[in-house]
Amino acid sequence: MGKVVVIGSYVADLMSRAPHLPKPGETVLGGPFQMGPGGKGGNQAAAAARSGSNVTFVTKVGNDLFGKNAIEHFEKEQFNTQFVKVADDEATGAALIAVDNHGENHIVIAPGACGTMTSEDVLEADGAIKDGDIVVLQLEISLSAVKTAMERAVIHNVPVLLNPAPYQEFPRELLRHVTYATPNEMEASELTGSDVTDEESAQKAANTLHELGVKIVIITLGRKGVFLSEGVSSGKIVPAFQVDAVDTTGAGDAFNGGFAHAISSGQSLEDAVQFGQAAAALSVMKAGTALSMPQADEIKTFLSGHVEGIQ
């Protein structure tokens, strides 16, 4: 059982379905409305915990209703919440999500309290980082907090998984600290300046990331699967599992949390990728984000029916 340390965002997801995503200036009648736990950090923590890992979550929420709901959710998911801070002067973050009839989405995030996380908040969790099997990071918190987390993980010889989402500019020298980078096509394009549209362009982007210091590049390609590269010009497509999507929100988070669990629990790289893809496939078959993350037995059953040799 892996020990996964997730340092990142928590926001309350406020979601409604609509027949189509609104154009600029358009109001669309939708429904029903659903509220639940979210944020890339929270989603990935939930995915890793439900997959079977011991999860420590480092984040910040407000002293409000959404914050109280967050703490209840963390306890239910059995996170170690020792390093969850409650801010009296900031509201809990929120994400405004619209999902259309094809499962595609538009999302606007107000980071709130988690957007005020500092290097000091991360340093308080240094013991957990040292004791972890992997540190999982995203870009929904301050870059100073991300940088400190990477540096402490490197000092303690703990692998770093960076999901560079939502993309924002950051110093490229930080990539030398990254063991696993998991951008999607758009994020890989932003990171490298090369449009990712097919296997050849994915390898070009992966080569750039390797040259910047990333050890293993995993570019998530949605329905096409992932492009997995362990070194310059060594990549390949690992096909996705084809399912009928209800809501694609959080699919990337399901992959990252599932992969973090699998790789930190001793699975091979390719098996861990398939485990993450199974978690993502199962997540899109349900509405919601954190609450749509599958349990370990669901993932094992799914894999046994889709991958030869899985028992």
Q: Tell whether residue 225 is among the known ligand binding residues.
A: yes
Instruction: Answer positive or negative: Cα dihedral of 298, 302, 305, 310.
Output: negative
Q: 79 phi and psi, to 5 degrees?
A: -70, 150
Phi-psi map region of 153: left, alpha, beta (phi>0 left; psi -120 to 50 alpha): alpha
Q: 99 phi and psi, to 5 degrees?
A: -125, 130
- Evaluate if residue 245 carries a pLDDT over 90: no
Tell me if residue 271 is catalytic.
no
Residues 74, 272: Cα–Cα separation, whole Å: 25
Q: How do residues 137-183 score in pLDDT, each as one tens digit?
A: 999 999 999 999 999 999 999 999 999 999 999 999 999 999 999 99
Residue 309: predicted pLDDT = 46
Q: How far is CA 35 from CA 40, 288, 291, in A?
A: 16, 8, 10
Residue 311: predicted pLDDT = 40
Q: How do residues 6-23 score in pLDDT, each as one tens digit?
A: 999 999 999 998 999 999
**Average pLDDT over every residue of 250-269:** 96
Domains, the chain, ranges and CATH? Answer: 3-9+40-60+115-306 (3.40.1190.20)
Q: Tell whether residue 84 is among the known ligand binding residues.
A: no
Round the average pLDDT of the chain to a whole number and report it: 94
Task: Identify the helix (H) or strand (E) that includes residue 50.
Answer: helix 40-51
What's the count of helices (H) and strands (E) in the chain, helices before strands?
10, 13
Residue 308: predicted pLDDT = 57
Annotated catalytic residue within 64, 121, 133, 253: 253
Q: What is the pTM of this model?
A: 0.92
Q: Tell whether residue 42 is among the known ligand binding residues.
A: yes
Residue 246: predicted pLDDT = 83
Q: Tell whether residue 292 is among the known ligand binding residues.
A: yes
Q: How do residues 96-146 score in pLDDT, each as one tens digit?
A: 989 888 878 888 889 999 999 999 999 999 999 999 999 999 999 999 999
Q: Tell whether residue 12 is among the known ligand binding residues.
A: yes
Q: How do residues 171-229 score in pLDDT, each as one tens digit?
A: 999 999 999 999 999 999 999 999 999 999 999 999 999 999 999 999 999 889 999 99
Q: How far is CA 28 from CA 11, 19, 96, in A?
A: 24, 8, 14
